[in-house]
Amino acid sequence: MEIISENRAFGGTQGVYSHRSHSTHCEMTFGLFLPEEAQHTPVPVLWYLSGLTCTHENAMVKAGAQQWAAEQGIALVFPDTSPRGDDVADDDAYDLGKGAGFYVNATQKPWAPHFRMWDYIAEDLPSMLQEEFALDMSRQSIMGHSMGGHGALTLAMGLPGRYKSVSAFAPITNPTASDWGRKQLSAYLGDDEATWAAHDATVMMRDKGFDGPLLVDTGTNDQFIDLLKPEALAAAVAERRQEGILRLQKGYDHSYFFVSTFMEEHIAFHAEALYAD
């Protein structure tokens, strides 16, 4: 692991690091905020998965999350959204290829050699973090924005018992029925739509749900709301009678102005779950 930068922030440390990933077979960069408590004892972990076109840096710089994580004594992990490098496949469109990993393990050419973001978030990066930092990996929660909200929801339901809580800002909730999903899932996973179900939060909610608290916020003025389909997830939550809070926030859009407005509430929500035991 290589230290790219470390800066003092809210009594803790905001670091940026790189490492060779066994999953994506390339160098990956991530951000990690450690609160002051991490100097003395392992601290709970809150994952933040970013959206299309983003890197580790977007939420790290724009979300205003470190202040609230410092108050709660929680570490924040900001992974990248895709593999990177000259030998990594890409596409001219912004919503496929680099910056658009969709948190799946690709099985199709040319994506399969590197686009294994599910394994990277689920296995590779957590293992490295546990070895290198003072983190309590028995207490993890996860959240994300847009494509990252999709990733947070599907990972939370796909890895039962891993995360104490899950939340999302404007998540892509029903990608098998959306242009933000069908294109990418077919490219990465192939044309057999049965393989897509494990990466659709609405389908997964109907099939298995999440054993823990759920919080989802979407802005009523979100310019992509027809692609996000918040009503599909809401219907599945109601059908399953899943514990959860799903809110439409009047006048807010898809931007980090929206995310930062509700970040304090989301971190407090996760802190309650992380410290419940």
Domains of the chain, first to last? 2-274 (3.40.50.1820)
Task: Identify the active-site residue in 82, 217, 222, 270.
Answer: 222
pLDDT tens by residue, 33-61: 999 999 999 999 999 999 999 999 999 99
Contact at 8 Å (CB) between 146 and 171? Answer: yes
Task: Identify the active-site residue in 150, 254, 266, 270.
Answer: 254
pTM over cut 0.95: yes
Neighbours of 257 (CB within 10 A): 11
pLDDT beyond 80 at 102: yes
**Would you state the pLDDT for residue 263?**
98
| 222 catalytically annotated | yes
* 93-111 average pLDDT score: 97
Please provide the average confidence, as pLDDT, over all residues in the chain: 97
Task: Identify the active-site residue in 50, 82, 146, 178.
Answer: 146
Percentages helix, strand, coil for the chain (3-state, rounded to 5) are 40, 25, 35
* 220-230 average pLDDT score: 98
| 254 catalytically annotated | yes
